[in-house]
């Protein structure tokens, strides 16, 4: 029998824009108040929800700053070339343990990261020039040349290990198995809105979301965790109480822990075990 225990929930009332799991078993949370144009960063333990640091504002930048990536003890942020434009600028490196800025490179844009180096580039005429920087100090270790020349080094960068993650698969007629479809429809019937629905199949645990139409242009997004042995739901949560359209990537798992965001502002974590 599947057991489910709630680990924590986090809700500051602001929109959770992005969450990133770190190599230190943390979650970095990027939150935005759209009306006030304010952004805040917090870092919590991924199991207990206890804060490492909270409501950080970096470089006195109230809104136009965001997360690039994380590796080892470091979080990389960026600013934007212009407000409301997607082009990134600067490499801003944060110590994940205390939320303090370690170093900033104002000239380069972030490209990649591994446990020792950050790789950045700058545009020069019609091509890009790439550099290898120390992740600890920001010192430029090596000029890597053009993008084609830099490939020799950058293609050897060890990718982040996602083997402990379970991301969702999309429900569709061609890829979803008959047994998966039968289980879903046994739980919710066949009259609900299944476009853009997602699922994670862990054998004895099956997790999926679906949409109920409240009225025209208003959907409820619900999450269901099913014990496949008994074929009964052990948890039903509301991911979004009112959305005009389906929103993908609503939930994921890391080891036996399930993470999802409710109504845009609340991060919730459960542990699922046998």
Average pLDDT for the chain: 92
| Alpha-carbon distance values, 246 to 111, 170, 236, 241 (Å) | 31, 12, 18, 12
- 250 and 260 Cβ atoms separated by less than 8 Å: yes
The answer, yes or no, to whether residue 269 has pLDDT greater than 80, is: yes
Predicted TM-score of the model (pTM): 0.92
pLDDT at res. 111: 97
Name the DSSP letter for residue 37: T
Q: Give percent of the chain with pLDDT exceeding 70.
A: 98
pLDDT at res. 212: 85
pLDDT at res. 173: 67
Q: Which of 9-23, 48-62, 63-77, 174-188 has the lowest mean pLDDT?
A: 174-188
Q: How confident is the model at residue 191 (pLDDT cuts 50, 70, 90)?
A: low
The answer, yes or no, to whether residue 237 has pLDDT greater than 90, is: yes
138 or 2, which is more confident: 138
């Amino acid at each position: 029998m599947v057991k489910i225990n709630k680990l924590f929930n986090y809700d500051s009332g602001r929109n959770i824009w992005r969450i990133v799991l770190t190599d230190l078993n943390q979650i970095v949370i990027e939150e935005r108040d759209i009306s006030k144009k304010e952004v805040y960063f917090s870092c919590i333990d991924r199991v207990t929800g206890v804060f490492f640091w909270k409501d950080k504002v970096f470089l006195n930048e109230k809104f136009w700053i965001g997360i690039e990536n994380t590796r080892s003890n470091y979080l990389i942020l960026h600013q934007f070339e212009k407000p409301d434009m997607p082009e990134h600028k600067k490499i801003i490196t944060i110590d994940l343990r205390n939320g303090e800025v370690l170093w900033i490179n104002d000239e380069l844009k972030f490209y990649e990261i591994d446990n020792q180096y950050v790789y950045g580039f700058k545009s020069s005429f019609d091509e890009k020039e790439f550099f290898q920087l120390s992740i600890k100090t920001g010192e430029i270790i090596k000029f890597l040349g053009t993008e084609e020349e830099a490939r020799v080094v950058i293609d050897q960068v060890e990718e982040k290990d996602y083997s402990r993650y379970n991301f969702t698969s999309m429900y569709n007629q061609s890829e979803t198995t008959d047994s998966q479809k039968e289980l879903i429809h046994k739980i919710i019937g066949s009259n609900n809105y299944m476009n853009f629905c997602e699922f994670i199949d862990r054998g004895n645990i099956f997790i999926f979301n679906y949409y109920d139409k409240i009225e025209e242009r208003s959907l409820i997004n619900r999450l269901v965790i099913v014990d496949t042995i008994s074929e009964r739901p052990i948890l039903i949560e509301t991911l979004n109480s009112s959305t005009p359209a389906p929103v993908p990537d609503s939930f994921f798992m890391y080891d036996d822990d399930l993470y999802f965001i409710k109504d845009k502002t609340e991060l919730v974590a459960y542990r699922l075990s046998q």
